[in-house]
Structure 1
């Protein structure tokens, strides 16, 4: 086929956001209730189309974070999760979505964006339950985002992105327990964390918890964990 007779296919590009945080020691994801068709009334991940051909994809992700959840990307851990472009994933036409994983501690109550009826933090277990109805292929994207977070907790310092600037080892353990969905032995966890040089470093002060002082730590400079903290 000559270049003169070739017509490029009409493809729309969108971004979707898997925004994770801990609330009441449980892993939560931000979901919006769609206020427009298609899938009006269904819950979905925040996201939207690129504004124009000149908008960079990561810039669109940052913009959607601000518009859909009133969140500043500079305060979050933000990484590209993957691209989703199966034909038929969107009834409006051929849409390729680039998904991003965003993580931060203590995120505020969300404010719904322009095309959402409402937005709410939702426990991941509820969002992925058999009774949940997620729009488009957002269940698959959410599953991929949660598994990415679970895997990266083993080999990287991503767990500290769920924590405040200073934290106790007990609080760090609750991150692992919430994301992995398992209970961990405190003494074994403490030993494994301390075995990784510069994973966490003392913050120089203490916090009183249940009448007992607890040492505070902050994230160290190490990003890759050796040895890894493997899932049970």
Structure 2
């Protein structure tokens, strides 16, 4: 599905991911590990077509992408990718429902309303009217996952989705990711929580700093 060769990537005057190759198969669960500053988040942004400014090649579904075609990159992001960022995009002044609806374009809201209940059941948040300001840290992270899953993406990118959570909430997040993966979704996740890695069912990529 995704095959990327990064000859080099300049980030804040630092060279990252030199001669780095990653291949992600459809329906796989890929975990990216490595020390802070090694380029993990940068790699995730490249995979998700949020960062196309690198020297290399990106092959998506056997097609070499023209990374300078911003319109096409936007179309691919919108159609295929869901994102869970380290910095939450949740608006704590709004309800769970409004946060979910704000994650999609206006003309898509009727369509995703049908999928909303399934997504909320998956993440264990059933009260649409509940204000996000009263949610716990684990609940907010599950809402972030729901925002990413609401449009039923083919590929889910998660940057440290279990960071700062207790063990119970970490397991809750991982169970959601596993359920999505079992339904055929492709997961690419960054983590420092090595105890969460299941090497039998995950492809593990360790980035070493240059």
Normalised by the shorter chain, which TM-score bucket?
A: 0.3 to 0.5
Q: Give 1 or 2 for the bigger CA radius of gyration.
A: 1
Please state which structure has a larger fraction of its residues in strand: 1
Q: Decide which structure has greater helix share.
A: 2
TM-score, normalised relative to structure 2: 0.32
TM-score by length of 1: 0.30
Q: Greater RCO between the two (CA within 8 Å, min separation 6)? A: 2
